[in-house]
Structure 1
Amino acid sequence: MLSKFLKLINWKNFNTFLLLTFTWIFIPLFLVEIVMIVLEPYLFKGLYQYDSDLGFRVRPYINGNNQFGFNDRDYPLQKDQNKFRLLVVSDSFNWAGGKEGNYTALLEKKFENYYAKNQVDVINVGYPGTHTGEQLTMLKKYGLQYNPDLVVLGFFVGNDFRDADPERKRIIVNGIYIDIDKEDELIIFGYPIIGRSRLLMFLQQKYKVYQELQRAKQDSAQLFSSYLVASLNLASAPIIEREKSPGILSEKAFLRVEKSRLKFCKIRDLFGGKRDDNINYIFQSISEMQKLLKSRNIDFIVAIYPDEYQVNDELLNDIFAEYDDLKRESYNTTCQQEILIKFLKANGIPYIDMLDRFRREQKNRPLYLLREPHWNSAGNLLAADILFDYLLKDIDKFFE
């Protein structure tokens, strides 16, 4: 039967069909892939660009940022000897609130008000999506050009340990984050070459963003309805609408993110050594940063930023309610602070733990954006207050 079927096929027409398919479909797709590699610097001019050392960086002078792509104005690289200069090195927390509303800008304004003139430069040095190991490279390549007196490392417990895979390198390809193994990176003529279809990744990413935006819109509509119903209840307490950002997630997506962060603190995994590679990589990076700064007579402090689930009991309860597989007794929700502080004390590195202040203030007002892991305006202001109170004494000594 099969032989009869094969005899019925017009092989000439079939071969023509294959040739046309290859010519009109596969060759154009292949050419699109080549174009997306070669013309990437010209076709994709979004917020991020490829960097051979860091993997990626923020593009300079876009959306008001500075010459190194940091969320700040330009400062002269030659430091004024009559001023105190500090760098705040961190991740996307250095972008929340924009250039003027970020805690680094608010901290500089507090020093300006205190001294009645601009005596203290607070320079924002941070790229979103980075952890301490990558921030060390960022500090070496760009940050130290500012010749600071002090470096404050902002450590976000929510993902800095979790993301610190010693083999990971996060690169930017056609405007999309991609995590690769450091040993697998291949660069030809200055372009990163990856073993995946750039066109397919681009389309998948756009579709994923579209889906998440639709879910976020639905959640926002439901949230508005709940506010409306509550406001019509005359016996209810006043409703305070949470501050939002353009990057608001759907409720399920946000809880999924917070769950992944909480899972780092599963007691059994910690005692079983599953987190040791990440933890040791962070320790190694902080130690190297400490030695580097000490060799240049630059002071060093670590500021520890809490995750929202650590200060907002309602959010923590929502996580455990959403995921039945999580048992509260199986998690130490402050494990990141405990692990890091033990290391910092053992190595004589000063630190600022913001957890207690944020817990207290969270009872009075929200400190984080709605369904978005970063601080709102109140959180940025509180972080600036905490840093100001801690740093003021030492900076005063500089001017004596």
Structure 2
Amino acid sequence: MKRALHLLANLGISLTAFVLVLVICELVLRAFGHQDIYTASSYPKELFDSSSVSGMRPGFVGAFRSSEVEGEIRINSVGFRDRERSYKPDSSTCRVLGIGDSFGFAHGLPPDQGYLALLEQDLQGIMPGMEVLNACVPGRGPNFYLDLLQRIGPEVRPDVVLMGFFVGNDLDGIVAQRDPHRSDPGINANKTWLRRNIHLYSFVADRMKSIPFVRRMLKGYNISTGLIGAQAIDVLRTEESADFKAGWERLEDVLRAMKGLAPGLVVVAIPTVEQVESDRLVQALERLEYQPSEVDVRHPMERLSRMCSQLGIAQVDLLGPMTRRYAKDHEALYFEIDPHFNARGHAAAADVLAAAFRSGMASNGIPMPNCPRTRSITSLPRGS
């Protein structure tokens, strides 16, 4: 009996010491580690400024949270993650304005590896002085894109507006309410709470994910899959809920308004990793306890294509080309866990967009209104 009590006492002392060490580490991180500057979405809190036209702080210099993704974040004097440039109208050049979320923002990569920067390089090889402005803001959706276009459109006067529509969550911001029984998996909710409240968790988890074999192990055991939430799979369901139907209707209103502001509007349909990589889809379906027969990876793309066709809006669908590229060489186009494009994914997206621009080109010009010797951007093939 005494021995058992002695063991329990030692166990209690060890546990208390362990908790005390964790508390000390947490306090040290809060005081000196700067882990608290990151949001749950891996962006520095100081990046955001509600008084800015973009919602990002002009002149901000920081970095992504060091993990599977990392790199510098530098915001220009206007408030965008783009090089310093003049935004005043210039009749001597053709201007493309990129609007979107963290994909267009080039999450986790240097800005010159993002698909908008790569597209600008490609198009400048055809027409020197061609501009592709990056006005993408992470964590935003269609309602914000419309608002941003209303605010900066008259000043920037773009010839073409490339609106990136991420299938995974861009409807989520305009859907009133999701099915509570299909909310984020409990493990995701727990991890989100830990990241927001326990700095030591973020510190350890991020550094563990920077080790390739650890990432593969976490992914293999279905602990960390990169699934952004149930909505990324719900949007693939052929039987749409009332909330998603309302979301699509709201999106149609947004696109109609954007088309009125920018006749050269082009919608770029950005697929989720689960749409492109079948093994990730199987893993997500198992995690959410869905049946494969409930979903169709083409469903949201076809829905969007029909909508754009009815509105007279050009659309470029990245799903087909990216799926074929992945099937051909099996080189990942997304980060291993993080659900964003990696450098290869951005390069693939830029290639598809550049080809879409070229397919609408006249022999002596480019298909943009207000540009010399051109035809209309609507000559771009819809759903290409």
> How does the TM-score come out when normalised to structure 2?
0.68
The answer as to 2:285 corresponding to 1:315 is: no
The answer as to 2:243 corresponding to 1:282 is: no
Shift of the alpha carbon at 1:45? Answer: 7.0
Contact 1:162 1:264 in 2 (8 A): no
Shift of the alpha carbon at 1:206? Answer: 4.1
Other-structure match for 1:5:
none
Counting only pairs closer than 5 Å after superposition, residues 1-400 of structure 1 correspond to structure 2 as 46-51=46-51, 57-63=55-61, 64-96=74-106, 97-115=109-127, 117=128, 119-165=129-175, 206-208=196-198, 210-218=200-208, 221=211, 223-224=213-214, 252-257=223-228, 259-268=230-239, 270=240, 272-294=241-263, 299-323=264-288, 325-363=289-327, 364=329, 365-392=331-358, 393-394=360-361, 396=366, 398-400=371-373
| Structure 1 residues 111 and 266: CA distance shift in structure 2, 3 A | closer
| Structure 1 residues 67 and 220: CA distance shift in structure 2, 3 A | closer
**Structure with greater strand percent:** 1
Give the secondary structure class of the aligned counterpart of 1:351.
strand
Structure (1 or 2) with the larger CA radius of gyration: 1
Contact 2:226 2:339 in 1 (8 A): no
Matched residue pairs, number?
Answer: 291
| Structure 1 residues 81 and 219: CA distance shift in structure 2, 3 A | closer
Other-structure match for 1:11:
none
Any gaps of 5 or more consecutive residues in structure 2? 1-43, 62-73, 178-192, 374-384
Post-superposition CA distance 1:264-292 (Å, at most 9, x none): 33334x1x523122111111111110112
Letter in 1 for 2:298: T
Q: Distance in 1 between matches of 2:162 and 2:142?
A: 12
Contact 2:176 2:243 in 1 (8 A): no
| Structure 1 residues 91 and 226: CA distance shift in structure 2, 3 A | closer
Other-structure match for 1:182:
none
Any gaps of 5 or more consecutive residues in structure 1? 1-43, 168-202, 228-247
Shift of the alpha carbon at 1:333? Answer: 2.6
Give the secondary structure class of the aligned counterpart of 1:257.
coil
Shift of the alpha carbon at 1:326? Answer: 1.4
Post-superposition CA distance 1:211-238 (Å, at most 9, x none): 35534544555825979xxxxxxxxxxx
Other-structure match for 1:14:
none
Q: Distance in 1 between matches of 2:215 and 2:334?
A: 22
Letter in 2 for 1:344: C
Q: Distance in 1 between matches of 2:251 and 2:198?
A: 31
Q: Distance in 1 between matches of 2:210 and 2:116?
A: 30
Shift of the alpha carbon at 1:352? Answer: 0.7
Contact 2:96 2:158 in 1 (8 A): yes
> How does the TM-score come out when normalised to structure 1?
0.65
Letter in 2 for 1:113: G
Q: Distance in 2 between matches of 1:225 and 1:121?
A: 38
